[in-house]
Amino acid sequence: MTGPDAWTVEFEGWDPSDEGRREALCTLGNGYLGTRGAMPESTADGVHYPGTYAAGFFNRLADEIDGVAVENESMVNLPNWLDLRIAVEDGPWLDPSTVRVLEHRQALDTAHGVLSRSTRFVDVAGRHSRLHQRRFVHMERRHLAGLHTSFVAEDWDGLLTVSSGVDGTVTNSGVSRYRHLAGRHLEVLAADEVGDDTVVLTARTTQSRHRVAVGARTRLPRPATTVVARGPDRAEGRIGQRLTVEVHAGETVEIEKIAAVVTSRDVAVSEPALAATELLAEAPGFTDLLAEHTRCWERLWRWCRIELLDGARPAPVETVRDLRLAGFHVLQTVSRHDLDLDAGIPARGLHGEAYRGHVFWDELFVLPVLVLRFPALARALLLYRVRRLDAARRAARAAGQRGAMYPWQSGSDGREESQRLHLNPLSGRWLPDTSDRQRHIGLAVAYNLWQYLQATGDLAFLAEQGGAEVFLEIARFFADLAEHDPADGRYHIRGVMGPDEYTTRYPGAAEPGIDDNAYTNVLTVWVLRRARELLDLLPSTRRRALLETLDLGRDELRRWDEVGRHMAVPIHDDGVISQFAGYRELAELDWDAYRRRYGDLQRLDRILEAEGRSVDDYQASKQADVLMLFYLFSADELRDLLGGLGYVLPPEAIPRTINHYLARTTHGSTLSALVHAWVLARAHREEALHHFDRVVRSDVADLQGGTTAEGVHLGAMAGAVDVVQRCFAGVEIRGDVLRFNPHWPGRSGVLELALHYRGRPLTARVTDREVQVSADAGPGGPVRIAVGDEARDLWPGRTVRLALPRSGRPDGEDGQRAPSTVRTEVIDPPPAPRS
C-alpha cells in the first residue's frame, strides 16, 4: 500500500488474497448505510464479498449444531446496489479473473468520502480497455449512493453491453466460520422497472419482517453515446437493465448509477419502494450529488479537525493518514443519521459480518470521541441502551437479580445475543461460549452515561429521558450481585468474567465464571458512588419521583454505600492488583516455548484447546483487564477509589501491575493494544508514538491476521483518535471543568484539536509546554478550562493559554505529574485557527 498524502489510502495491483481487507477498509458509509469496497462486477465468490448493511437492520435465523438448537441474530446483508457488469461484444462479463489485468489501483479519499478504482486490462480477444470508477455513499442524503463508470476502449471499436441492477440473491456469508450456518435472511417480494431508467427491488427479512427497497437509476450522461438497445434484465432475485452501446477506440463511455436504499425501519417513510422510487426520480445527477457529498465531508472534517503540526520530528505521513482513516470510519459508522435510527454502535462497523453487527462494550471506546464532537449523537446512541432497559431488567430477573443486566452482545431488542457455541477453527470443535458472563458491560453503559453528563451538562437527559433510571438500575444490579462474606467483612462479586475473554472459569470447574474480577469490582464501586452523586444532582421532585418509581428506599441506598466502602479487590503482597481472586495461583505458561512453536499467540485460547489444554489454567490474558482501570481512571482517581475501600496503592504498584500483565497478554483483541498504548504512554511518554502507531495500524495492517476482511474494529479505530485527545492531549472532563494533562512528545510539534464542550466549539492547541484553548465567538457564558490545579474561565471569542514550565516534566513512573507551577494567560482577541 502506498500513499502520497495523508488523506489518501491507495492500493496498487490486483491481489485476490488481499481483496477482503481492501473491501473492508474501502467501505463507504454514512451512519445509516454502509457498502463494502467490493468491485461492482463481483459477487460473493470467496475472493470478493459485496456487502451493504443498514444500521440496526437485523434478522434472526435458527440452526442446529451437534443436536443443539441455536439462534443467531445478524445485521442483514442487503440487496447489492453496486451490481454493474460489463461485457465486450458478446463476451463474458468482465472481472479481474476473466481478463489479464495490466494495471489496477484503488484509492480512498478520506477527505471527501470517495472511493475510486482504475483498472487497465486486456481481454481474451487481445483488446485493451480501461475502466475508471468513482463512488460515494451520500453523507447528507442518507438513502442515496452513486457509482460513476468511465470505460475507454483503447484499441478497438464495437459494442459494449452493460447490465446495471440490484441483486437480491445475496446472503450473509462473509465470515467463513459462520458459513455453514443459515444465512438467507431475505425473500424478494418484488422486482420491477419503475421508469425508463430505474428499477426497484423489494425484499423482506424472514423473521423480523422488515422490508427493504433498493432502487437503481442508470443513465449515460454523454449525449454522444449511441445506445443500440436498452431493456430489462431479469433473473431470479435480481432486476436490472441491459444496455448495449457503441464504443470507438479512444472514446469514453460513461455510465452513471444512482441507488436508493430505504427500509421499513425508517422514519417519515410511507412504503420503502415508493420512497426509493421518488428519491430516484428527484435525485440530481452523479456530479451534483458528489459535489454536495464532498462539501458535507469538508464540513465534517472541519468540525472534527485533528492536526499534528510543525514538529521537529513530526509524526510520519502514514501515521497521520492512518489516524484519519480511523476517524473516517468512525464518522461513516455513526453519524447524525443515527439520531432517529435506534441503532447502537456495531463493534465491526457497517463494514462486514463479524460478530453479526452486534453491539458490545466497545462503545466505551467510541463515545469519548463522539461526546466531545457530537453530543446529540452520543445521546442518541445512549438512548439505544435506555430503550432496552426493560429487556435488561428482564434478564436480571431471570438471573435472580434486581436491577438491570445489560447483555454482553446486543442486537434489535436488547436480549442477550451472544452465541452459545463457538467454533475453534484450529480443532474444528464447537465449544460452549460463556462470554455472556461479562456483566461488566452494564458498568460501561453507566460510565458512558456519566461521561456524557460531564461533557454536556445535560441533566435533563438523565432526569427526563431515562438516563438516570438506567444508571440507577445498573447500580442496583451490581450492588445486588455483591455478596457479603462475614469472614472478611467484604463484598464479593462471584461467577462473572472480566474483559479478558480467555479466563472463563477456574481450572477444572464445572461452572463458568471467576470471583472478584478487580475491574468489575472497582468499577462497581465507582458506579455506586456516582449513583449517589447523581441522585443529589437531580431536582428534588424528580429525585423523589424516581426513587418512588424504582422503589429505591433508604435501606437499599445504605447498602449501596456499604458495598461501595467494603468491596473486595484482590491485591497481592507485592502490590500487583490481581485480575481476580486466585489468579496468581494459576500456572505460568512457558511463553518462550509457545512463541517458538506458534509465533503468533494472539489466539492462544484456540492453540491450547487444539492441544487438548485450556487457557483457563494459565496466567494468560487475551486483552487488558486490570489495566482497563488505568485506562478509565487517572492514578489519583484509582488511588482514591481503592483508598475508600481501605487499600493502599503505593507508587511502585502501578508499574509493577502494568509489567505483570504486559508480559502475560497476547493482544487477541485490538482493544488490548489500544489500552496498553494508553497505559504505557502515561508512564513512558517518549514511547507513546510507537505504541500509538500500532493502534492506528490495527486494521490497515490487519494486525490480527485476517480479521479486518470481516469488518473493521471500530473500538480500536475510535480508540486511536481517543489516544490523541484523552491521552496525548490529556483531555479529561470532570467536575464541570475541561481539563488538560498533556502527554505529548515535544518533538512532535503542535497537536491541534477541534472539540465541542458544553455547547461551545473550541480549538485546543497542545504542545509539550502549553495548552491554548480558543472558544468560538457567540452568546453565552464561559466554560472552565484547567491544567493541573489551575482553572480559568474561557469566554466566547477568547483564548486561554495555560503554560507548564519544563521543570514539571517528565511525568513520574506512577503516571503522576511532578509538582509544577502553572502560568495562565487570557489572550484577546483569539488567534485565527489554522486550517
Q: Which residues bind ligand BGC (CB under 6 A)?
A: 347, 355, 360-362, 499, 501, 622-623, 669, 671, 715
What are the backbone angles phi and psi of residue 289, rounded to the nearest 5°?
A: -65, -40
Tell me the chain's radius of gyration from C-alpha atoms. Answer: 28
C-alpha pair distances (Å), 186 with each of 77, 233, 351, 359: 9, 21, 19, 22
Residues tagged active-site: 501
Query: 624 vs 791, which CB is nearer to ligand BGC?
Result: 624
At its nearest, how many Å lie between ligand BGC and the CB of residue 499?
Answer: 6
Query: 167 vs 605, which CB is nearer to ligand BGC?
Result: 605
Contacts of 662 (CB under 8 A, 6+ apart): 676
What angle (nearest 5°) sits at the alpha carbon of residue 263, between those of residues 57 and 392?
35
At its nearest, how many Å lie between ligand BGC and the CB of residue 793?
Answer: 40
Distance CA(96)–CA(16), nearest Å, equals 9
Residue 121 CB: number of other CB atoms within 10 A?
21
Query: 222 vs 422, which CB is nearer to ligand BGC?
Result: 422
At its nearest, how many Å lie between ligand BGC and the CB of residue 681?
Answer: 20
Residue 201 host element (H or E): strand 198-205
737 HSE (CA, 13 A, CB side): 14
467 by Cβ neighbours in 10 Å (0-12 / 13-18 / 19+) ranks as buried
Distance CA(293)–CA(737), nearest Å, equals 36
At its nearest, how many Å lie between ligand BGC and the CB of residue 608?
Answer: 16
Query: 133 vs 410, which CB is nearer to ligand BGC?
Result: 410
At its nearest, how many Å lie between ligand BGC and the CB of residue 435?
Answer: 8
Query: 117 vs 713, which CB is nearer to ligand BGC?
Result: 713
At its nearest, how many Å lie between ligand BGC and the CB of residue 627?
Answer: 13
Query: 337 vs 622, which CB is nearer to ligand BGC?
Result: 622
Q: What is the bridge-based pairing of β-strands 114-122 and 198-205?
A: unpaired
At its nearest, how many Å lie between ligand BGC and the CB of residue 674?
Answer: 11
Residue 595 host element (H or E): helix 591-598
Give the end-to-end CA distance of the chain in Å, rounded to a whole number. Answer: 28
Query: 360 vs 450, which CB is nearer to ligand BGC?
Result: 360
| Contact assessment for residue 200 and residue 234, using Cβ atoms and an 8 Å cutoff | no
Residue 476 CB: number of other CB atoms within 10 A?
24
Strand boundaries in 620-715, DSSP class E: none
3-state helix, strand, coil in the chain (%, to 5): 35, 25, 40
DSSP lists the bridge partners of residue 152 as 130, 252
Q: Is cis: bond before 810, omega within 30 of 0? A: yes
481 HSE (CA, 13 A, CB side): 31
C-alpha pair distances (Å), 757 with each of 451, 458, 467, 550, 775: 12, 11, 20, 32, 10
Q: The cell 482493544 sits on which residue?
A: 671
At its nearest, how many Å lie between ligand BGC and the CB of residue 32?
Answer: 22
Q: The cell 497542545 sits on which residue?
A: 766
Contacts of 617 (CB under 8 A, 6+ apart): 507, 586, 587
- Name the 3-class secondary structure at 527: helix
Contacts of 461 (CB under 8 A, 6+ apart): 379, 382, 452, 453, 467
Residue 619 CB: number of other CB atoms within 10 A?
18
At its nearest, how many Å lie between ligand BGC and the CB of residue 353?
Answer: 13
Query: 410 vs 767, which CB is nearer to ligand BGC?
Result: 410
At its nearest, how many Å lie between ligand BGC and the CB of residue 419?
Answer: 12
DSSP lists the bridge partners of residue 233 as 240
Query: 215 vs 499, which CB is nearer to ligand BGC?
Result: 499
Query: 356 vs 817, which CB is nearer to ligand BGC?
Result: 356
Distance CA(77)–CA(52), nearest Å, equals 5
Q: Which three cell numbers stand for residue 277?
A: 422510487
At 537, which amino acid appears?
A: L
Residue 79 CB: number of other CB atoms within 10 A?
29
At its nearest, how many Å lie between ligand BGC and the CB of residue 350?
Answer: 14
> What would the DSSP string read from start to end of 729-792?
S-EEEETTEEEE-----GGG-EEEEEEEETTEEEEEEE-SSEEEEEE--SSS--EEEEETTEEE
- The torsion angle over the Cα atoms of residues 215, 219, 221 and 225, rounded to 10 degrees, is 160
Q: Which three cell numbers stand for residue 664?
A: 502475560
What angle (nearest 5°) sits at the alpha carbon of residue 315, between those of residues 313 and 318?
135
At its nearest, how many Å lie between ligand BGC and the CB of residue 519?
Answer: 12
Comparing C-alpha atoms, which of 119, 130, 123 is closest to residue 94? 123
Residue 604 DSSP label? H
Query: 136 vs 355, which CB is nearer to ligand BGC?
Result: 355
Query: 220 vs 675, which CB is nearer to ligand BGC?
Result: 675
At its nearest, how many Å lie between ligand BGC and the CB of residue 517?
Answer: 13
Query: 30 vs 707, which CB is nearer to ligand BGC?
Result: 707
Q: Which three cell numbers stand for residue 631?
A: 485506562
Distance CA(443)–CA(364), nearest Å, equals 10
